[in-house]
Amino acid sequence: MIDLPQPTGAELWPPEEPGPPARLHKPWRTLVAAVEVVLAVAAGWAATLCWHSAVATVVTHTDDGATLESHRYFGGLLAAAIGLGTVAAILLVDAVRQLALAVRARHRKPKA
């Protein structure tokens, strides 16, 4: 076993940053969460529009009276719908995080 020197109080890493500690509880985070929810709803709506616009039905009538129906998919619109859905999900996750930081993270008052 190797016996390494242990750090003392003055040698702790990472060193403490000068100044007051950063506050996590900031009420304006609630406004940021609300804006992110609105943007997520808009992105979800746009994703739905892209998804439904990405499919076209083609109907062909042959000489013998048969009706052939096929579907054409547009990859760019499908990719846009998936991308917008992903952006909406990320915005919702961050909105929950912002709201949790706005409501819950408060400094504890030192005991007297």
Q: Where are the domains of the chain?
A: 40-105
Work out the percent of the chain whose per-residue pLDDT is above 70: 76
pLDDT of 8 over the 90 cut: no
pLDDT of 103: 83
**What six digits make up the tokens of 75?**
């990859």
Q: Taking residues 3-16, report their average pLDDT.
A: 67
Which amino acid appears at position 98 of this protein?
A: Q
Round to whole Å and give the CA distance between 51 and 43: 12
46 within 8 A of 90, measured Cβ to Cβ: no
| 14 pLDDT above the threshold of 70 | no
Round the average pLDDT of the chain to a whole number and report it.
Answer: 86
Q: What is the pTM of this model?
A: 0.67
Pick from 50, 26, 49, 47: nearest CA to 90 = 47
Check pLDDT > 60 for residue 105.
Answer: no
